Chain A
Amino acid sequence: MIGESVVRYLRLWAVFFRNCITREMEYRGHFFMQFMIDMVWYGVQVALFEVIYMSTGSVAGMSRGEMMTFLGSMFVIDALNMVLFSHNFWMFPGLIARGELDFYIIKPVSTYFMSFTRFPNVASLLNLAVGTSVLVYGLMEAHLSPSIGDFALFILLAICGNAIMLAMQSIVASVAIFLVQAEGIQMVFHTFYQFSIRPDAVYGQLFRRLLVYVFPLALIASVPSRALLGTLTPELAVWNVVASILIFFFATRFFTWALKHYSGASA
């Protein structure tokens, strides 16, 4: 029964992808401009650390190669979020303001699924390739050779990191249901997301604990990257998985509760 549901949702997701690829091919200029924006963002992050490593051999115990491995991991996880979910969060406040969420609610599928997966961003698949290249370059520079098990653990934790990101974005989006006019509310998430784009080792001990155990922003990219850097402890790996399940569960409950307060603007 559960298996059937999963297959049904995966099929639906595949349809969303096909639909979005067709749309993107109609606007090829937009496709490449979107890619350019992300490349500039990646370029700024890499350039910052390139300049920093001209003055020092290591930052918070990480060599240049290890930092590139972190950046590559972060780019890959960020690109996954961009491909699968991100675009939907920017559109969500518009659905509420125009009353178009009504059309999602009446469909015989999860409203959470419809709201946050309907529009995948296929242009960001290119980012995934660039992120993977940076990751491989970082591993080579740091002379790291993770085992298949390490890679498997990284993939698992990257999925968990994405689940945490999705949960946080959906919590912010759920607030938009109460505000009705909440264009740009996703900036709230992106402001706090800045803590995730640096390795957790740069933060002071107390603040780092806060980012790992209370506001788990360090679990999005920093902790998963440790699986490849060889600095991951079993406790931290288990916590990453448990935290992602807990926060995702809370986010779906919160969304369902918020939805009860939704009054369709088109009605």
Chain B
Amino acid sequence: MAVLRTGLSNSMEYRANFIMNNVFALVIGAMVNMYLWKAVYDSTAQTTIGNLTVWDMLAYVATASVCARITQTGRTERNAAEEIRSGDLNKYLLKPISHAMYTLVSSFSERISALIFIVLLTVVVGIPLAHSADVHISIAGVVAALPILFLAMVINSLMSVTISYFAFWFDEVWTFHVVKDISLWFLSGQLLPMSALPDTARAIAALLPFQYLAYVPAGLIIGKIPIEQAPLYLLGAVAWIGVLSSITALIWHRGLRRFGAYGG
């Protein structure tokens, strides 16, 4: 709880970044994609792409942008690399806490304020807009998407922490973080739904953990993924957390053998 409180107060220190990330970046990113997809539907005789009509697609793009923003990782996970590089990791090694768990909890606490803000933005602006455009939002889908969103936050954090732990071997790992974040625009389904991908790519995407960050929760919320499939996705997300936790632990222990802690 103490870590949660500290993280929350840290997140409020960076108010300009907060507004930039959670208002402008979210709204503009979604807007650009929505314009693109509207132009795509206006240019084709097909009424559906990836089983989505034009309004479904616009609702999907907006919802997927919100989900991706909720599940994105921040500077807390990246700071773990700096702690390894600078030797600040010493202070964690002396305490009876797990570094990965500490980082995860800190990261969540920093995201709480953003989470509340995004939910408010969605309720006040998104839902009335969706109603006026006659877009169906599944209440059961929203309820099913919430635990998946939570698990997706854990999945993304674990991926980021694992990348940061490569700092035991490399001087700089920030480029790996940036490559991951850019790849996720596509792989998570933020730019386009997985259902629009060719069959082989779709089959591969279904086996990977990235779909839980945007495609699955957005699909459930707009009712394009049947609610009956939610437990299956929930299990899949839990399984991926198990796999990623094991990888994180393995890299942490291997890395720790190389780590030299000096000074007081």
User: A residues touching B (Cβ–Cβ < 8 Å)?
Assistant: 29-30, 33-34, 36-37, 40-41, 44, 47-48, 51-52, 54-61, 179, 182, 184-185, 187-188, 191-192, 194-195, 197-198, 201-204, 207
Contacts and interface: CB of A to CB of B under 8 A. Distances in A.
Main secondary structure on A side of the interface with B = helix
Interface in B93-119: none
A182 B16 CA distance: 9
B197 A51 contact: yes
B182 A191 contact: no
A30 B32 contact: no
A201 B35 contact: no
Contacts of A184: 17, 20
A198 B36 CA distance: 8
A44 B20 contact: no
B49 A55 contact: yes
Interface stretch (B157-165, B185-193, B216-224): B185-193
A55 B40 contact: yes
Contacts of B29: 191, 194
A60 B36 CA distance: 9
Which A-B residue pairs are the 3 nearest by beta carbons? A56-B44, A33-B175, A202-B39
Given A191-B20, A194-B29, A207-B35, A52 B183 contact: no
B43 A60 contact: yes
A47 B186 contact: yes
Interface of B: 16-17, 20-21, 24-25, 28-29, 32, 35-36, 38-40, 42-44, 46, 49-50, 172, 175, 178-179, 182-183, 185-186, 191-192, 196-198
A60 B28 contact: no
A203 B35 contact: yes
Contacts of A36: 175, 179
A56 B179 contact: no
A202 B36 CA distance: 6
B169 to A, nearest CB: 12
A52 B61 CA distance: 14
B24 A191 contact: yes
Contacts of B50: 55
Contacts of A51: 192, 196-198
A64 B175 CA distance: 31
A33 B183 CA distance: 15
A55 B186 CA distance: 17
Nearest to B23: A191
Contacts of A198: 32, 35-36
A27 to B, nearest CB: 9
Contacts of B183: 40, 44
Given A36-B175, A40-B182, 8 more contacts: A54-B198, A55-B50, A57-B43, A59-B36, A187-B21, A194-B29, A195-B28, A207-B35
20 contacts: A30-B175, A37-B178, A37-B182, A40-B179, A41-B182, A44-B182, A51-B196, A55-B40, A57-B44, A58-B43, A59-B39, A59-B40, A187-B17, A187-B21, A191-B24, A194-B28, A195-B32, A198-B36, A201-B39, A202-B38
A48 B39 contact: no
B186 A187 contact: no
Contacts of B191: 44, 48
A191 B24 CA distance: 7
Most A CB within 10 A of own CB, among B36, B172, B183, B192? B36
Contacts of B32: 194-195, 197-198
Contacts of B25: 187, 191
Contact of B24 (A34, A56, A188, A204): A188
B22 to A, nearest CB: 11
Contacts of A197: 32
Contact of A204 (B35, B175, B186): B35
